[in-house]
Structure 1
Amino acid sequence: MKSEKRILIAFWLNFSFALLEAIFGFLFRSSAVMADAVHDLGDALAIGLSAYLEKLSKKKGDRKYSLGYKRFSLLGAILTAFILILGSFLILLENVPKLWAPEEVNYQGMLVLGLIAIAINLMASRLVRHGHSHNEAILSLHFLEDILGWLAVILVSIILHFTDWYFLDPLLSLCIAGYILSQSLPAFWKNMKIFLEHVPEDVDLPAFEADILALDNIQTITQLNVWTTDGREKFAMLHVCPQDMAQSLTSKEDLRRLAKCHGITHLTIEFDLSLQEHEAHQTEV
Structure 2
Amino acid sequence: MRIDTHHHHKKASDNLAFVFLLNLTFNIIVIIGGLATNSMAILADCIHDMSDTFSMAIAWILEHVAQKGATDKFSYGYQRFSILGAVITSTFVIVMAFFILSEAIPRLFSPEGVDAEGMLIIGIIGLVFKTISVWRLHGGETFNEKAIFYHLLGDIFEWVAILILSVILIFWQDISYLDPFVSIAIAVWLIFNLGRTLYKSLEVLLQKTPDNFDVEEFKQQILEIDGVNALDDFHIWSLDGIDSVMTVKVDVDFGKNVENIKKEIYDISNKYHVVDITIELD
Cα distance in 2 for residues equivalent to 1:131 and 1:192: 26
Which fold has the larger relative contact order, with Cα–Cα distance below 8 Å and residues 6 or more apart in sequence?
2
Contact 1:121–1:147 under 8 Å retained in 2: yes
1:155 corresponds in structure 2 to 164
Q: Which has the larger radius of gyration?
A: 1
Asked whether 1:65 is paired with 2:109, we answer no
- Give the corresponding residue for 1:241: 251
- Residues 193-225 of structure 1: per-residue CA shift (max 9 Å, x gap): 334332222332122333444556444433111
| Partner deviation per Cα, 1:28-72 (whole Å, 9 max, x = no partner) | 473759956973556534433332233223321122222222333
Q: CA deviation at 1:81?
A: 3.9
Amino acid at match of 1:71: R
Amino acid at match of 2:181: L
Deviations 1:63-112 (A, max 9, x none): 22222223334444444444443443333332222211111101122211
Are 2:109 and 1:109 equivalent residues in the alignment? no
Candidates 10, 30, 36, aligned match of 2:38: 30
User: Quick check: 1:50–1:77 contact (8 Å CA) kept in 2?
Assistant: no
Give me the whole-angstrom Cα distance separating, in 2, the residues matched to 1:134 and 1:186: 19
Partner of 2:160: helix, strand, or coil? helix
Say if 2:12 and 2:145, in contact at 8 Å, map to a contact too.
yes
Aligned residue number for residue 48 of structure 1: 57
1:171 corresponds to? 181
Which TM-score applies when normalising by structure 1?
0.76
Q: Deviation at 1:244? A: 4.8
Instruction: Quote the Cα distance in structure 2 between the aligned partners of 1:262 and 1:37.
Output: 36
Q: Which residue is equivalent to 1:225? A: 235
Give the letter aligned to residue 15 of structure 1: L
Q: 1:216 to 1:146 in 2, by over 3 A?
A: closer
CA gap 1:23/1:94 in 2 versus in 1, 3 angstroms: closer
- Counterpart of 2:215? 205
**Distance in structure 1 (CA, Å) of the matches to 2:41 and 2:187:** 17
2:261, 2:38 → 1: CA distance?
Answer: 71
Please tell me the residue identity of whatever aligns with 2:101. L
> 144-153 or 7-16: which moved more?
144-153
Gaps of 5+ in 1: 273-285
Question: Offset at 1:268?
Answer: 1.8
- TM-score normalised to structure 2 length: 0.77
Q: Shift in Å at residue 22 of structure 1?
A: 4.5
Residue type of the alignment partner of 2:189: Y
Alignment length (residue pairs): 271
Q: Does 1:97 align with 2:111?
A: no
**Is the 1:19–1:37 contact (alpha carbons within 8 Å) kept by the matching residues of 2?**
no
Residue by residue over 1:125-160, the C-alpha shift from the partner in whole angstroms, topping out at 9 and shown as x without a partner, is 333354354544443455346434433332222222
Residue 5 of structure 1, CA deviation: 1.9
Contact persistence 2:34–2:42 (CA under 8 A): yes
- The 1:202/1:157 distance shift into structure 2, 3 A limit, reads closer
Name the aligned partner's letter for residue 182 of structure 2: L
Q: For structure 2, list consecutive stretches of 5 or more residues without a partner in the other structure.
A: 1-9
**Counterpart amino acid of residue 171 in structure 1:** F
CA distance, structure 1, for counterparts of residue 95 and residue 146 of structure 2:
18
Contact 2:45–2:183 (CA under 8 A) maintained in structure 1: no
Q: Find the aligned partners of 1:247 and 1:156 in 2 and give their Cα distance.
A: 68
